[in-house]
Amino acid sequence: MAHSGITTIGVLALQGDFREHVAALNAIGARSALVRRPNDLDAVDALIVPGGESTAMWKLATTAEMFEPVRKRIADGMPAFGTCAGMIMLADRITDAAAGQETFGGLPITVRRNAFGRQTESFEEPISFDGIGELTGVFIRAPWVEDVDGGVEVLARVTSGPAIGRIVAVRQGNLLATSFHPELTADRRVHEYFVAMVTARDAA
C-alpha cells in the first residue's frame, strides 16, 4: 500500500479501457498509476478494474501473477471500483460464466454476463444514480446484477425498456461497481464519487 500521504488510485492495465479511466482520474486531479505487476499494486491505495472482457482479464491476471494479489488486497479492504467487465470481476457469483471462470470477488452479488446482448446492441440511457443524480449510462455488452445479498446498496437501476428495474450500480463498503462505462463520457461524477470513498476511508 502507498505510504506517501497522497492517495494514489491504481488502474488495472492488463486489458480493456484502462486509459480512459486514467484520463478521467487526471481530469479531476486525482493521482493515478497503471497496475500491471504485483509491485505496482503495492504502490496504490485503491484500484479501478476497467471494462473489457472478463474472461480475458481473468486469464491475463492469472498469467501475470496478479490474480491472487488483487483478490487478497480486496479481501483485506482495499477500495475498488469495477466498470462493466470490472463489475463481473468484483462479483462473488456469475451467471453464464465461462468454463472455470474466476473473479477477484468481494461484492456479494450475482451478475449475468452480456445481459444486455451483443456489442451491436450497445446503447446509452439516462440513469438516476443515488448520491449523484441523473447521468448517461453507456452500456456495451454489459452485465446486470441478478441479485444482491443484504448489506449491498443498490445505487442505480434501468428506468425504461425491456430491462426496466435491472440493477446497474451497487456499493458495499469500499467496493463500487457499475454495469455501464462512466469513463466513456465527459461526466466525471462517478469517478469523483469513488475518489471521495477512498479519501474518506484514508481519513478514517
> By C-alpha distance, which of 90, 78, 96, 104 is closest to 169?
90
Query: What's the pTM?
Result: 0.92
Residue with cell 486525482: 30
Domain at 162, CATH number: 3.40.50.880
Find the mean pLDDT for residues 180-193: 95
106: left (phi over 0), alpha (psi -120 to 50) or beta: left
Measured distance CA(73)–CA(80) in Å, rounded: 9
Query: In this predicted model, what pLDDT tens digit does every residue of 85-124 receive, in sequence order?
Result: 999 999 999 998 778 889 999 999 999 887 776 655 678 8
Query: Any catalytic annotation for residue 192?
Result: no
Query: In this predicted model, what pLDDT tens digit does every residue of 35-78 receive, in sequence order?
Result: 999 999 999 999 999 988 888 999 999 999 999 999 999 999 99
The whole-number pLDDT of residue 3 equals 42
4 inside domain:
no
pLDDT at 1 over 60: no
Domain count, the chain: 1
Q: Which amino acid is at 33?
A: A
The whole-number pLDDT of residue 5 equals 59
The whole-number pLDDT of residue 8 equals 95
Domain limits for position 18: 9-203
The whole-number pLDDT of residue 119 equals 56
What are φ and ψ of residue 167, in 5° steps? -80, 130
Query: In this predicted model, what pLDDT tens digit does every residue of 10-20 receive, in sequence order?
Result: 999 999 899 99
pLDDT at 2 over 70: no
30 inside domain:
yes
Query: In this predicted model, what pLDDT tens digit does every residue of 128-174 receive, in sequence order?
Result: 999 999 999 898 888 889 999 989 999 999 887 777 888 999 999 99
The whole-number pLDDT of residue 165 equals 85
Among 20, 183, 191, 192, the one annotated catalytic: 183
2 inside domain:
no
Annotated binding site: 52-54, 113, 140-141
Annotated binding site for L-glutamine: 52-54, 113, 140-141
Among 3, 20, 65, 84, the one annotated catalytic: 84
3 inside domain:
no
pLDDT at 191 over 70: yes
Measured distance CA(188)–CA(191) in Å, rounded: 5
> By C-alpha distance, which of 57, 126, 47, 123 is closest to 88?
57
113 inside domain:
yes
- Cβ contacts of residue 140 below 8 Å, gap of 6+? 51, 84, 119, 122, 181
CB 146 within 8 A of CB 111: yes
155 inside domain:
yes
183 inside domain:
yes
Query: Any catalytic annotation for residue 183?
Result: yes
The two counts, helices (H) then strands (E), for the chain are: 6, 12
1 inside domain:
no
